[in-house]
Each structure stands twice: as structure tokens, then as C-alpha cells.
Homo-oligomer: A and B are copies of this chain.
Amino acid sequence: SVSLLGNTKTNYPETYAPEVLEKFPNKHPDNDAWTTFVCTEFTSLCPMTGQPDFAKIFINYIADKDMVESKSLKIYLFSFRNHGDFHEDCVQKICKDLFKLMKPKYIEVQGDFTPRGGIAIFPYASMSNGSKKYEAMKDARMANYSPGKYGMDLARLY
């Protein structure tokens, strides 16, 4: 009797799939603005032990001509599900793949990974388009970093 809804299964890729990322033109390229994506449910596999890792991923960027399409980003992030990589490399990969896709003025990625045996690891990476203004922004944000600073307390969501 579940007739109304028509849930159609999305075809989620089985492993790391940067090719699913899609972009669309920024309607306001003349006016800098921040867009933040929070993936509350990121998971990958530890390449040493095969054990699943879990994290909250924060992506903050200032678009130039292009923006990443949000559902393709979601599928892309979920493609790490069965992919084995270290915490730092996941964060670097996400940063580079999105930079390559959009060529933003500035982008940064922060991963808040849950602890393993009394130790938690939080990586943070960033890239700019190399212009003076955004390279300076990158340096300043790097200099002011503290763990979790470029993310947000998720208890504020509801």
C-alpha cells in the first residue's frame, strides 16, 4: 500500500568516486560569500586495521565561477564508505577534488574524527586560488587555527 511516495533508489558508487561531483554556475560571482557544507555522517575505512572510521566533515568555501551541486557532493562523500585511507588523506583528497572541480577563491576542509582507544585525530587542510587576497586569507586562517574552530557545535542544529 506504499503507493504515494515512489522512492527511487539512487545508484550509490561502491567506492571512492570523485567523478560523481557536479558543478553549476555561481549566480553571484561578483560578490564574495561563504557556503558551508556539514556532512554529519562521514565514514571511511582505516587502511591499517580495516576498521571503520567516523567523522563530521566541514567544508567552507568562497565560490568563484562555479559551485558544487549539493546532492552530488553527498554521493561523493558517501563514496568513501568502503574506501581505505588515513584521516589526513581523506581530508586532503576532499579538499583537492573540490578545488579541482570548482576552482574556488578559497576552500578549507576540517575533519572531526571520533576517537580510537583514547586518541582522536582532527586534520585541517585548505587551498586558495593563489591570488594575493586569498593566499593571505589562507595564511591568516592557518595562523588562527584551533581544533574544531572552522566547524560548529552540532548541538545547535535543532
Contact = CB atoms under 8 A, between A and B. Distances in A.
Contacts of A122: 35-36, 38, 152
A7 B49 contact: yes
Interface string A35-78: 11111110100001111101010101010000101111111011
A69 to B, nearest CB: 5
Interface string A14-54: 00000010111001100111111111110100001111101
Nearest to A141: B143
B118 A114 contact: yes
Interface residues of A, number: 91
Given A10-B50, A43-B41, A125 B157 contact: no
Given A5-B10, A5-B48, A35-B122, 10 more contacts: A7-B48, A33-B91, A34-B145, A36-B147, A38-B120, A38-B147, A40-B119, A67-B88, A82-B82, A112-B156
Interface of A: 1-12, 20, 22-24, 27-28, 31-41, 43, 48-52, 54, 56, 58, 60, 62, 67, 69-75, 77-78, 81-82, 88-89, 91-92, 112, 114-127, 137, 140-158
